[in-house]
Each structure stands twice: as C-alpha cells, then as structure tokens.
Chains A and B, each alone.
Chain A
C-alpha cells in the first residue's frame, strides 16, 4: 500500500513570488508520481507526472517537480506564480501492486495567490 503526505494544507503567496508545495510518499513497491490541480467546482487535471528517466519534470505552464528517491519526495515548484494559479493541488502516487492503474492521493494543498 502507499500513502501520500502533503505537509501544508494552505500556502498563501503574492503574485510573481516563487512557491513550493511539498509532497512526501511512502510505499513498499515501485511507484509513479503525479501532481493534479483542481479549480473550484471542477474535476482534477493532470499537471505533471514522473514515470522514469530525468528526475525533474516540467509542465507547460511553468510548474516543475523533482523526484527525490532517497527522501521519498516529489515537491512542486514554480518560480513566479500568477493569480490564475489559485487552486487546490494534489500529489498522488500509483504503485506497481495495482499495475500503476489506481491513484492514492494526499489531502491537497490550497495555493492562494494574492495581488
């Protein structure tokens, strides 16, 4: 089984400031890692994923996350946030025991960007 811990339930930040959303996971099997974003009254959208290869993965809208196996972390970063980045962010893992086909989510981090 897997578990995901998102250490911050809410992260307030000013527009154009950098931000880091923290995610740690626990698993006894190999995992794939994901970040999803949820805007108000909407479903989840995949932001980025790590399956293999380079430990640094990037999204098309400027977010990046780095897989750190020794620290079992997959923190999400953005060097300069916009008002439109305000949303709930979920870190998730899928494990080899499920054929990597089901997701275990953290509780989410609400990113609040203010002017």
Chain B
C-alpha cells in the first residue's frame, strides 16, 4: 500500500519565480492538506482540498493556490516567490470520514528560494 508521495524532493528557485509542488495521497484517501514547515518551526496549515475544492484555508496570502484532481492528487502553486517561502512543504492525506481523524504525511518537498 503506497503512502503519501510528493515530488520533487528538492527544488531551488529564484525570487519572483513560480513553483508547483505535487502530491499523491495514500490509497483510499480523499482529502489532501498542505503544510509549510520553516526551519526550526512546526508545520503551518496552508489549505485543504476535498472533492476538487478548497475546503479550508490557513493564514497564507493568495500567492499560495492549489488544485485537486479527480484522482485525489493535488498541486500546490506559489507565485512571486519570496525568500521567506523557503521551507519544507508537507502534504498530508486523510479521509473525510470523521471516524479516523488521522492525517498521513508525505516526506515533503524542500524548497529553497535564492
């Protein structure tokens, strides 16, 4: 049973550029959440997708956007990159079924903005 996968593993971008990160959820999961983990910090919730729509959003600017596809995979897009966007971006999948409440995390994408 494949867990949550993310690509790419590492990425280096320049300020002002745009980036797209990808996530495939654990088999059977229908909900994808994205988190940003800056160095030395805990992960911060960016947004959550279910049924191809943004269901909830954290305190992040509109430069951060996402998409969920019919196969439940998801993309995170960041426009006009800032140095402060350098972080580990984690994808987590779960079931909207309220009996589980568990989120399964991928290994993350390390984004460096120079």
What is the interface of chain A, defined by CB distance below 8 A to chain B? Answer: 4, 6, 32, 36, 41-46, 49, 51, 90, 92, 94, 98-108
Contact A108 B42 (CB under 8 A): yes
- Chain A residues, CB < 8 A from B90: 43-44
What is the interface of chain B, defined by CB distance below 8 A to chain A? Answer: 4, 31, 33, 35, 40-45, 48, 55-56, 58, 90, 92, 94, 96, 98, 101-108
Closest residue on chain A to residue B41 by CB atoms: A107
> Can you name 18 extra interface pairs (CB under 8 A) apart from A36-B105, A41-B107, A107-B42?
A43-B90, A43-B106, A45-B105, A90-B42, A90-B43, A92-B42, A98-B56, A100-B101, A101-B55, A101-B56, A102-B45, A102-B56, A103-B33, A105-B35, A105-B43, A107-B40, A108-B40, A108-B41
Chain B nearest CB, measured from A54 CB (Å): 16
